[in-house]
Amino acid sequence: MENTIVSVEWLHKNLEEVDLIVLDASQKSNKANMESSGKNFQIANARPVNLEKDFSDPTHKFPHMLPSPLHFEAACRKLGINKSSKIVVYDNLGIYFSPRVWWMFKAMGHSAISVLDGGLPAWKNKGYPVEPVQNAYGKQGNFKATFIAEKVKDYTFITDNLTLQQAIVIDARAANRFNGLDPEPREGLRSGHIPGSLNIPFQEVLLNGQYKTKEELTKIFAPVGTDNKTLVFSCGSGVTACIVLLASELILKNAKAVYDGSWAEWGYYDKNIAD
């Protein structure tokens, strides 16, 4: 299973497949203030991903930072995930948190993972069955994390890139935040954007909670041009960056990475340049 996204029809048909694990990446709140119609419900036997508690670095000062391979591995094993598991991840906002979980598994060397296009709302709209949210984990898994460093970029890389320009930085925040017109939702952060970065707000790659067509995405990503540089995706704290990264994965062959600190880190330090 190597598909980046799968449809609700595909999941409904393959839900009983051996080694298939469904992960529910829904979280209690989000910085976009989006509301879900599927709160308190899940796809049958889905296993809950607690992004804050289990799948972020608990020692880091910035939010949603990728945990260590050992921390990630332990969290996956607790959910009953194995090395052989085929994973489909969704959330109850359509597309919001699930691409972050998808990217983390990719960064930890597990390629057999897909995002459910449209998430729980699309599943419910088809009339497929749901159940009350449960804390079902299954037996302990044997998942093994193999960190792929190229999929993550840090503060030093972004700073060096201002001069070296070896990568194209794409910011997934709303245009007014990117342009410094709206304040950041997190206290203590400056407004603006990383110099030279492009703005592709995550909302632009979605329509009714699902990814737009490849033809539409090709037009949206036209500012990237034909350069084969690495694409580095940023946002507020590394979550919605993954929405746009996944969209680019559908149409572009460039190497891709996430600036994990994103604006939570870049906007925190006064010495950083911000347009």
Q: Residue 110: which of 76, 68, 67 has the closest Cα?
A: 76
| Cα 160 from Cα 165, distance rounded (Å) | 8
Tokens of 185: 């939702």
Using alpha carbons, select from 144, 196, 200, 213 the residue that is nearest to residue 173: 200
Tokens of 19: 């080694």
Beta-carbon-side half-sphere exposure of residue 186 (alpha carbons within 13 Å): 16
Under a CB-based contact definition with an 8 Å cutoff, are residues 243 and 95 in contact?
yes
| Residue 77 neighbours by CB under 8 Å, 6+ apart | 140, 141, 142, 143
Whose CA is closest to 102, among 163, 161, 49? 49
As annotated, the active-site residues are 235
Tell me the three state secondary structure of residue 31.
coil
Q: Which two structure tokens, joined as six digits, stand for 150?
A: 């190229």
259 φ, ψ (degrees, to nearest 5): -80, 100
Asked if 255 and 227 count as a contact pair (C-beta separation under 8 A), the reply is no
Q: Are 133 and 139 within 8 A, CB to CB?
A: no
Cα distances (angstroms) measured from residue 99 to each of 61, 123, 221, 231: 23, 17, 18, 16
